Amino acid sequence: MGLHIESFSLGPLQTNAYLLKGSEEGKAIIIDPGMNPAALIKRIADLEIEAILLTHAHFDHMGGVDEIRKLKQCPVYLHTLESEWLDNAKLNGSTRWPQVTGPLTTDPAEFDLADGLELNLIGETFTVYHTPGHSPGSVSFLCGEHLFSGDVLFRLGVGRTDLPGGRERDLIHSIQHTLYSFPDEVTVYPGHGPRTSIGYEKQRNPYVPEGT
């Protein structure tokens, strides 16, 4: 069967939220429900949401968590290194751009993510890869040949590293040693912008030097 993927561009920063369905009828998970999730909420009316997975805790990726978690009673998964960010508006960045949003907070995540963890959800297996650099607890999720890369790797771009806990050296290392170790045909679904593939980025991404 495989994964069925729908994307929603949410909020003022056009953050990609992904609604995923697998082999279990009527169930879905959401990766990164961003701000102003009305379109997504409308779409999930008849679905059981098994989990909300966060690639990291920046406000533009977690802005819709509170509303969806309350509506669907679903648990949230986030890397341990950002476990204090959801209820801290300074850490999640929402106090930094007052012209974009007021402070955003929600309760802490129910489950901690760590590198190598395998999550069995919606009848599929998602492997967690710790890919720090854009933020300390950034993770990527791999399910078959689908990679959800958050703000680590974009089509012809990479995540910024000037926010708290960001580090360029870590970001490049995460891409070269973790993401680029996946087969060329793996499709990459980033946190912003269009999808791409590992092979395409390996050949053309101008921000990632070759080799180590």
Q: For Zn ion, which stretch binds (CB under 5 A), given 62-70, 82-90, 114-122, 191-199?
A: 191-199
How many angstroms separate the Cα of 201 from the Cα of each of 161, 197, 206? 19, 6, 9
Nearer to Zn ion, 60 or 124 (CB): 60
Residues 34-93 that bind Zn ion (CB under 5 A): 58, 60
Tokens of 123: 């009848």
Structure tokens that stand for 190 in this block: 């980033």
Q: Applying CB under 5 A, which part among 67-75, 106-114, 187-195, 196-204 lies near Zn ion?
A: 187-195
CB of 175 to Zn ion, least distance (A): 15
Shortest Å distance, C-beta 44 to Zn ion: 21
> Site for Zn ion (CB under 5 A): which residue of 50, 82, 124, 151?
151
CA angle 105, 149, 94 (to 5 degrees): 20
Round to whole Å and give the CA distance between 7 and 17.
6
Task: Catalog residues that contact Zn ion under the rule CB under 5 A.
Answer: 58, 60, 151, 191
